[in-house]
Structure 1
């Protein structure tokens, strides 16, 4: 069933499309509040494995089919390593060294990588507006992730600058950027995974399988993982697991399996907004001026990528053609225009 809506129409489907990004942003704040009392690999494993069990329980109640072929399990395994183990591992390790809001901005720069990969693999159009967004995104990430003395050297003497690489790998922003790249590759894998297995089933199994290496790593490499965790911390872990993983992942990957990856993924510009807001309210986090400039540039860049067709139609006077927006994905998956486009497909189940 299709509902014809204006680009910014309000509907239940729009709420469901935005919900994962609200849950991810607030879960980031919840995780950051727990990190001083636990260890990163333990936190990452706790966020994945119980959530995967919950997703598979819901899938069993709805009688969704389990994977039936070796190809299905192979794609799930690859998906689990990239979007489970690597993404959650880098995220938790990076969160130890950066704030929830800033870390969320770095992770949610992944639509920049998704746009490039989708243009290459699925022939999704980026266009002039999208290219401008990509350039702004690179500048924004540079302002956030590069040391300020590097930027000063580039501004004063870009040719003769020599950079001290010591300590750069310890910056949480770079670990968050690695998490973003892992999530971007995971997002690109979704159409291939869902050729062989139901997206909800794939979500559940990829959480469980991806969480196992994290749990093993925590067992052998970490100590005192839960001795300092209090009751409020367990509530925060429960929120991150149930709402920030099980429900958020289930919604995101369901919609991603149905539509334009670049446009859906670009809605993640909402996640750092929620993370910055709630991080400021509950954790007292604050950014310096350069970081705020980077955040602003990154959010504008993601908005430009997400709304590139609509903005182009307004600038050129060419009517927005939904068929043209969707045609790039028709060869590989069922097509919809994502939440900010003019046609939304309502899930049938």
Structure 2
């Protein structure tokens, strides 16, 4: 099991978290744009496949060994299933089914599930900071989702997809700590993306090939953003953060991502900015600060 060297994010981790939150958060409205012209499974499968190949190519060019240690392929496989295939496949369906981009915030109930799972399977202990952060963060999510409750109830399949996606990600986070793979993070990230893309591609070919068309400029730009930013950079950064701190800290730190996603929807998609967004922003900033900052 990976022993985290810090109980709060060090300076390098905070910089990674800021970049990760901005880049992953901005991707929620970008996904909406891509899904307007690209079928969901093809969207995720192609971007993950190219992202995995690109990550491995960059790691290899930098002299990083790419070989998976003997006897650890099964660990890489299960990390790919839950962190990549399950999360990406389910959330892209949820985002396409739900009427509001804000519904994607259901996916960020992940910190609740991962914290509970880490207590049960990793023996982690809840600190006062973690409890406060969990309560603040989930309160912020509830405030944001509350404004879209009618829309959520009209698309229960989308709600189920998002919650199952959150569980898949939470299990993947715990497995990352429980079943460490003795290889560099860049190589591990590349292999999990590459392997995780294959089941999605296997679904896309028979189900979505008839719907494929050449996307216009902005959806194509969104796909390139996903390959190079949302996948190659962000997945590496996320795995690096998970190495640094316990599950509760890394999971709760991710709550800043949906906040950026909502603000991105306001700026780029013209979604309304009201009291819910402002209150939720304060709650989520408090949550991230309570588990990430030393002072």
Match of 2:173 in 1: 187
1:307 match: 290
Contact 1:141 1:298 in 2 (8 A): no
Q: Map 1:1-349 to 2 at 5 A.
A: 14-65=14-65, 66-70=67-71, 72-98=72-98, 101-128=101-128, 130-131=130-131, 134=134, 144=145, 169-170=156-157, 172-227=158-213, 229-286=215-272, 292=276, 296=279, 300=283, 303-304=286-287, 307=290, 339-341=292-294
Counterpart CA distance in 1 for 2:234 and 2:28 is 12
CA distance in 2, matches of 1:8, 1:147: 33
Paired with 1:176 and 1:230, the residues of 2 have a C-alpha distance of: 28
* Cross-structure match for 1:326: none
- Residues 179, 303 of structure 1: alpha-carbon distance in 2 compared, 3 angstrom cutoff: farther
Q: Provide the aligned length of Structure 1 versus Structure 2.
A: 285
Question: For residues 262 and 120 of structure 1, what CA distance do their matches in structure 2 show?
Answer: 12
Distance in 2 (alpha carbons) for counterparts of 1:45 and 1:235: 16
- CA pair 18-219 structure 1, distance change in 2 beyond 3 A: same
What's the offset of the Cα at 1:303? 4.2
1:111–1:262 contact (8 Å) kept in structure 2: yes
Q: Secondary structure at the match of 2:213?
A: coil
- Residues 305/14 of structure 1: CA separation in 2 closer, same or farther (3 Å cut): closer
Question: RMSD between aligned alpha carbons?
Answer: 3.2
The structure-2 alpha-carbon separation of the partners of 1:212 and 1:190, relative to structure 1 and needing over 3 Å to count, comes to same
Answer with 219-228 or 272-281: which moved more.
219-228
In structure 2, relative to structure 1, the CA distance for the partners of 1:47 and 1:225 (3 Å cut) is farther
SS of match in other structure, 1:116 = helix
- Indicate the larger mover: 277-286 or 230-239: 277-286
Aligned to 2:93, the other structure's residue is in SS state helix
TM-score normalised according to structure 2 size: 0.82
8 A Cα contact 2:95 2:101, kept in partner: no
2:186–2:236: 8 Å Cα contact kept in structure 1? yes
Moved more, 131-140 or 30-39: 131-140
Q: CA deviation at 1:122?
A: 2.9
Deviation string, structure 1 residues 312-331 (Cα, Å, up to 9, x no partner) = xxxxxxxxxxxxxxxxxxxx
Q: 1:192 to 1:202 in 2, by over 3 A?
A: farther
Structure 2: where are the runs of 5+ without partners? Answer: 1-7
CA distance in 1, matches of 2:82, 2:215: 28
The structure that has the greater radius of gyration is 1
Taking structure 1 as reference, are residues 76 and 61 closer, same or farther at Cα in structure 2, changes over 3 Å only?
Answer: same
What whole-Å deviation, never above 9, does each CA across 1:19-38 have from its counterpart, x for those lacking one?
11211111221111111212
TM-score, with normalisation over the residues of structure 1? 0.71
3-state SS of 2:36 partner = helix
